[in-house]
Amino acid sequence: MVTMLDGAEVAKHASRESCWVVLHGKVWDVTDFIAQHPGGAGVILRTAGQDATEAYDEVHSPELVVDTLPSECCLGSVDPATIPSLKDSQKPAQEQKQVDQGAVQFPPLTSIVSVDDFEKVAQTYLTPTGWAYYCSGADDEYSIADARRLFRRIALRPRILRRVEPVCTKINLLGHPSSLPIYFSPTGLGKYAYKDADAESVIATAAGKEGLIYCMPTSAVHDAVFGARCMPGQRLFFQLYTGRDRERCKALIRKVEKLGAAAIFLTVDSPVLGKRERDDRIKAAEGDDVIVSGGLAKKSSMGLLNPLLSWEDLDWIRETTSLPLVIKGVQTVEDAVLAYAHGANGIVLSNHGGRSQDTAQSPMLTLLEIRRHAPSLLSAPVKDRFQILLDGGVRRGTDVVKAVALGAAAVGVGRPVLYSMCAGYGEGGLRRLVAILRAEIETNMALAGASCVEELVPEMVNSERAENEVSRRVKL
Ligand SMILES: Cc1cc2nc3c(=O)[nH]c(=O)nc-3n(C[C@H](O)[C@H](O)[C@H](O)COP(=O)(O)O)c2cc1C
């Protein structure tokens, strides 16, 4: 029998010591969770003892609370009418900002001509919390800048007189066709960017229409995103954070396999949360103490991360699914070799877009490291069963051309996907983003002398300056 609670009873639990909130008519005891909430304790405490649905829905899917908290935390139902409503000062920041911004006119999509143009619009559109969450990197954010610097440090060596019309940009990604050598990287909390529909579902639809593959994040509403596929045979990859509960993780893998996932991308670059100070400053301003000893490991323990994950865990993940397994977040040639030896079907050279460990070397440098120290991983026979992908700082067609010429099967695009949905652009923004990248890739392939992706070869780039930065301390 469902327990019915009264609003007055809920209102008594409005402190750190006993914190209840109402979400979609259900009362949740979140006392033990507030310290682990990735968005900070303050944001929950502001809605303690009240109906938090509005604030919660700004950022989360309805399923998240059910998936995250133990079922015994759900205390019963309540008639929301008996619950005090949020005061204006407690309303979600997004709503307040949109009121303030009533008069702001965002540029028409036709005036957006480069990937970075979307970022400028996003910075104006997003709430401070949303902007900080999307754009932030760890510590001093050197790794974000470094990823882009490395692309610039590599020059193209265009070949001429090669008959470059038409240009074919198609590739095969883990056995599935893609119209470009790019895919949409997994990024959580698309809701900040787009509110009119489930953001991750919109990304899936746009990917389908553009013939691209989207790797949805663990935090997505899985059924909805799979349901948003719009093209016959459209494939989606699934990014996996294992969390600490193995059985729960196995159930999740089986669920997405059944829903039709075409590959599992296991994220391994974040055993704990990186220190993202833009986020921290916002939480600190709301009264949270973000500097807690051991806080990072503790935070990860309740959430999706798992500091205890090791190479041995690949065995049970492998046994749970027959889907291709890609290790996302490889940052050294040593780990690339290990991933291959453990039977992975691919790797993503990634430092999580600079969000985990600051000053971690750029993914492009890791690719050069592999070229120097383990070139066999890029040889023709290995490439058939082990694809090397790369993400971080990809903003230009030339970035894509350079990465592919040096051996990447495809590159992932993260933040731009989120930015392109802002200001109400939604699917139109995503498709504009792809159109920009498509035009740049086609143009730069032709200018480099390649009429198909296979013709992009290492000799088309001069990476010697960047190669000077490749580590000589590799131990294989
Ligand atoms: C806001 C945001 C959320 C992210 N969420 C996830 C995630 O849930 N899982 C994951 O594996 N990577 C996540 N990433 C990392 C991306 O998949 C990708 O590695 C990174 O964004 C690539 O760099 P770029 O943003 O410069 O393109 C996230 C990145 C951002 C910016």
- Tens-digit pLDDT profile for residues 120-153: 999 999 999 999 999 999 999 999 999 999 999 9
Q: Give, in degrees to the nearest 5, the angle at Cα 222 between 236 and 350.
A: 55
**pLDDT class for 86, splitting at 50, 70, 90?**
low
* Active-site residue flag, 269: yes
Task: Give CA–CA dist 284/286, Å, rounded.
Answer: 5
- Atom number in ligand 1 closest to CA 269: 11
Task: Give CA–CA dist 385/345, Å, rounded.
Answer: 6
Comparing C-alpha atoms, which of 203, 305, 338, 319 is closest to residue 257?
A: 319
Distance 414 CA to ligand 1 centre (A): 5
Q: Extract the tokens encoding 217.
A: 């994040």
pLDDT tens digits, one per residue of 177-201? 999 999 999 999 999 999 999 999 9
pLDDT tens digits, one per residue of 248-295? 999 999 999 999 999 999 999 999 999 999 999 998 998 888 887 655
DSSP letter for 426, please. H
Query: Domains in the chain, please, with CATH?
Result: 4-78 (3.10.120.10), 115-467 (3.20.20.70)
Would you state the pLDDT for residue 96?
46
DSSP letter for 216, please. E
Comparing C-alpha atoms, which of 32, 56, 38 is closest to residue 46?
A: 56
Task: Give CA–CA dist 368/374, Å, rounded.
Answer: 10
- Atom number in ligand 1 closest to CA 352: 19
Mutate to test the pocket of ligand 1, among 61, 146, 150, 185 (most ligand atoms within 8 A of CB): 185
What does the DSSP assignment read for 297-335? HHHHHHSS--TT--TTHHHHHHHH--S-EEEEEE-SHHH
Distance 462 CA to ligand 1 centre (A): 28
Residues forming beta bridges with residue 413, ordered by sequence position = 184
Task: Give CA–CA dist 303/207, Å, rounded.
Answer: 28
The interface predicted TM-score of the complex, written ipTM, equals: 1.00
ω into residue 166 within 30 of 0, thus cis? yes
**Residue ID of nearest Cα to ligand 1 atom 19:** 352
**Percentage of residues in the chain having pLDDT higher than 90:** 74
* Active-site residue flag, 56: no
Residue 31 has pLDDT above 90, yes or no: no
3-state secondary structure of 29: strand
- Atom number in ligand 1 closest to CA 218: 8
Q: Checking phi first, is residue 150 left (phi over 0); if not, alpha (psi -120 to 50) or beta? A: alpha
Q: Checking phi first, is residue 108 left (phi over 0); if not, alpha (psi -120 to 50) or beta? A: beta
Mutate to test the pocket of ligand 1, among 355, 411, 420, 433 (most ligand atoms within 8 A of CB): 355
- Active-site residue (options: 269, 358, 391, 399): 269
Distance 328 CA to ligand 1 centre (A): 11
Residue 396 has pLDDT above 90, yes or no: yes
Distance 226 CA to ligand 1 centre (A): 20
**Residue ID of nearest Cα to ligand 1 atom 20:** 353
Q: Extract the tokens encoding 324.
A: 């291709």
Residues in the ligand 1 pocket, defined by CB under 6 Å = 133-134, 185-188, 217, 219, 239, 267, 328, 350, 352-353, 355, 391-394, 412-415
Distance 367 CA to ligand 1 centre (A): 19
- CA distances 297 to 101, 302, 361, 363, Å, are 38, 9, 23, 25
Q: Extract the tokens encoding 276.
A: 């993202």
Specify whether the CB–CB gap between 346 and 387 falls below 8 A. yes
- Active-site residue (options: 13, 37, 352, 373): 352
Task: Give CA–CA dist 356/347, Å, rounded.
Answer: 18
Helix H or strand E segment including 449: none
- Active-site residue (options: 133, 214, 241, 419): 241
Distance 418 CA to ligand 1 centre (A): 10
* Active-site residue flag, 352: yes
Radius of gyration for the chain, computed over Cα atoms and rounded to the nearest angstrom: 23
